[in-house]
Amino acid sequence: MSWLDKILPSRIRANKKDKGSVPEGLWHKCSNCETVIYRAEFEKNLNVCPKCNHHGRISARKRADIILDAEGKIEILNDIKPIDVLNFKDKEKYKDKLATTQKKTGENDAMVVYQGFINKIPVIACFFEYSFFGGSMGSVVGEKFSIAVKKCIEGEKALICFSASGGARMQESLFSLFQMAKTSAALNSLSNKRLPYISILTDPTMGGVSASLAMLGDINIAEPNALIGFAGPRVIEQTVGEKLPNGFQRSEFLQEHGSIDFILNRSEQKIKISEIISALMSNHDNEETSR
Amino acid sequence: MKEFNPNYLDFEQPLLELENKIKQLHNDPEKTAKSEAAMEKLNKEYQNLTKKIFDNLSDWQISQLARHPLRPYSLDYIPNIFDSFNELHGDRMFGDDPAIVSGLAKIDNHNIVFIGHQKGRDAKDKVMRNFGMSKPEGYRKALRMMRLAEKFNLPVVTFIDTPGAYPGIDAESRNQSQAIAENLFVMSNLKTQIISIIIGEGGSGGALAIGVGDRICMLQNSIYSVISPEGCASILWKDSKKAEQAAEALCITSGKLLNHKLIDLIIPEPLGGAHRDLTAMSSSLKINLVNLLDEITEINIDDLILQRKKKIESYGEFEI
Ligand SMILES: [Zn+2]
């Protein structure tokens, strides 16, 4: 028996293999190694499993608390809200689904933006909220992100973005596809001003978000074992008709293939990101580059 | 028993029956005045039927037309609309992607850089062209062409026709996401004119990766979508057979997208669709393309790029 098994009540120990049997709230079961720990302890550990270092999902606002200094942290752009311009309806109306998701999550859409400081360095920071339509990018995410970029340019600040997204939001159709162009164009302007953009790819970063703002960082950082890619693994498996290699589209795979700069544990993110921004800004001049 | 021809969509089948009747009469060695009259009547009937079918296409039928097995592809248009074409290959880093064709082209008095998706026609060709699904090396070849165009002040013209970027192990290993993102990043600020025309299927990020520009146009019966109707149906309806409803909900046709100001121009197709008359389609495409080139090469390049950036920035609908 491991130390953990010893401290667990027998009811939970017995049901260890049975997913979903852990009572919500008090206990957390790691989705990777199935270790069960007190939720409070899990949260204190920044939603990272102490046993296998699996980086669990975490809300946009909790991430902001981890990364940004408490002093001077102000949420911005929260007045931008989604509308259902296409009257989209599948099994239910997009409009209704938006309303229920807003109620459930307390968020207006899938991105939260702050102005603030990271170890006293001024930044604008964007955080995807995965529980809102799978962190999908529609018009609101695109608009928030591009205004965030503008604020960086106005204030000569660095930009940080934590991605967690399934891709473009289907219910907004071509409007959402075009947000890929919009966010990439905004980043082009930021780049021209020689202001740093640090992109942190977390589990999962896929599709239209991966193929636009998330891969365009001056520095691209991934959390351990995050699923990152353009096409989803199931689609690839169906297309190529073979089993995917072990660890395919995980952070470690991406680093091996030269697609990201490095992998960074959640607990070290604040210090490392602030070091990098401070290095990149150390000789900053605001003369525009040619492109 | 009724003959089923796979080159005719289900809603085109009535046309096939008439076409066969006309062919029979036409090939009859003992033509009489009576059969001539009958043929004329059939021809008229054929015209009316085509009009009747094609005046009332559903969004799903348009999706099928956009992906019609006989739909003209980039390589079908090239000899019909360009006075010359010199194909250029490769991304200078990894390989040459046959799913994207590119090169220097001349059209009227404009020298341009052409970039276009290419699907295959027969089984072997389809595999060679990877069904028009590009890998990173294809997008990187396109990027190289754009840089070339910028350097020599040549307008870029792109033809879009892809189900999407290739979902494969090799493509992901070479960072498909980055290849697409980089093109979006560069095209938003490329210092030369860019015209993009959806000629068939505008499939998601794989289409957009050569589709950011000053003028975004669609052939009348082409589609442009964030996801295929089938893909959307299987995810949101959990039933791929609901593709017809998904096509409607996604607003992917040229008319709807023009109404939403997401595209700038619809290029008309001949009655019955582009595949029924390549000559007429090519001439419609050529006239429109030359007009667009005439128009945007007159605009000061710095103003044009400012307009492009404003346009890209304006994409999106939200409440504030
Ligand atoms: Zn674990």
On whether any CB of chain A is under 8 Å from the CB of B184, the answer is yes
Question: What is the C-alpha to C-alpha distance for residues B242 and B60, in angstroms, rounded to an integer?
Answer: 10
Q: Is the dihedral of CA A231, A232, A233, A237 positive or negative?
A: negative
On whether any CB of chain A is under 8 Å from the CB of B174, the answer is yes
Residues of B in contact with A83 (CB under 8 A): 317-319
B313 CA to chain A: closest CA distance, Å?
6
Q: Name the residue in chain B with its Cα closest to that of A91.
A: B237
Average pLDDT of span B285-312: 98
Helices assigned H by DSSP within chain B = 13-27, 33-55, 59-66, 74-81, 123-128, 136-151, 169-173, 176-187, 204-208, 229-232, 243-250, 254-259, 278-297, 301-314
- CB neighbour burial string for A173-195, b if at least 16 within 10 angstroms, e if fewer: bbbbbbbbbbbbbbbbbbbeebb
Q: Are A88 and B249 in contact (CB under 8 A)?
A: yes
Helix axes B176-187, A173-192, angle to 10 degrees: 70
What pTM did the predictor assign? Answer: 0.93
Probe site for chain B from A95, A109, A174 (most B CB atoms < 10 A)? A174
- pLDDT, tens digit, 9 for 90 and up, residues A138-188: 999 999 999 999 999 999 999 999 999 999 999 999 999 999 999 999 999
Question: What is the C-alpha to C-alpha distance for residues B284 and A123, in angstroms, rounded to an integer?
Answer: 51
Q: Is the dihedral of CA B292, B293, B297, B298 positive or negative?
A: negative
Question: What is the C-alpha to C-alpha distance for residues B67 and B88, in angstroms, rounded to an integer?
Answer: 26
- pLDDT, tens digit, 9 for 90 and up, residues A205-255: 999 999 999 999 999 999 999 999 999 999 999 999 989 999 999 999 999
Domains and CATH numbers, chain B: 12-56 (no CATH), 63-314 (3.90.226.10)
Q: Find how far residue B107's CA is from the centre of its chain.
A: 19
Q: Are B40 and B48 in contact (CB under 8 A)?
A: no
Probe site for chain A from B239, B241, B253, B318 (most A CB atoms < 10 A)? B318
Residues of A in contact with B262 (CB under 8 A): 174-175, 178
Chain A residues 202-261 with CB within 8 Å of chain B: 207-208, 210-216, 228-232, 235-236, 239-240, 242, 244-245, 248-249, 253-254, 257-259
Question: What is the C-alpha to C-alpha distance for residues A139 and B72, in angstroms, rounded to an integer?
Answer: 34
pLDDT of residue A242: 87
What letter does residue B253 receive in the DSSP assignment?
B
Query: Which residues have a Cβ under 8 Å from the Cβ of B92 and sit 6 or more positions away?
Result: B144
pLDDT of residue A22: 56
Q: Name the residue in chain A with its Cα closest to that of B311.
A: A182
Q: Looking at the predicted structure, is the pLDDT value of residue A1 above 50?
A: no
- pLDDT, tens digit, 9 for 90 and up, residues B156-208: 999 999 999 999 999 999 999 999 999 999 999 999 999 999 999 999 999 99
Question: What is the C-alpha to C-alpha distance for residues A143 and A137, in angstroms, rounded to an integer?
Answer: 10
Q: Looking at the predicted structure, is the pLDDT value of residue B304 above 50?
A: yes
Q: Are B264 and B212 in contact (CB under 8 A)?
A: no
On whether any CB of chain B is under 8 Å from the CB of A199, the answer is no
Least confident segment among A51-55, B10-14, B85-89: B10-14
Question: What is the C-alpha to C-alpha distance for residues A124 and A117, in angstroms, rounded to an integer?
Answer: 8
Count of pairs with CB atoms under 8 A, one residue in A, one in B: 203
Q: Residue A208 and residue B204: Cβ atoms within 8 Å? A: yes
Question: What is the C-alpha to C-alpha distance for residues A287 and B242, in angstroms, rounded to an integer?
Answer: 54
Q: Looking at the predicted structure, is the pLDDT value of residue B3 above 80?
A: no
Q: Element (H or E) spanning A183, and its range?
A: helix A173-192
Token pair 């934590």 is found at A162
A31 CA to chain B: closest CA distance, Å?
23
Query: Which residues have a Cβ under 8 Å from the Cβ of B264 and sit 6 or more positions away?
Result: B215, B216, B217, B258
SS3 content of chain A, % helix, strand, coil (to 5): 40, 20, 40
A102 CA to chain B: closest CA distance, Å?
14
- pLDDT, tens digit, 9 for 90 and up, residues A19-58: 445 556 799 999 999 999 999 999 999 999 999 999 999 9
Q: Name the residue in chain A with its Cα closest to that of B179.
A: A211
Average pLDDT of span A9-13: 45
A175 CA to chain B: closest CA distance, Å?
6
For B180-246, the DSSP string reads HHHHHHHHTT-SS-EEEEEEEEEEHHHHHTT--SSEEEEETT-EEESS-HHHHIIIIIS-GGGHHHH
Query: Does residue B262 sit in helix, strand or coil?
Result: coil
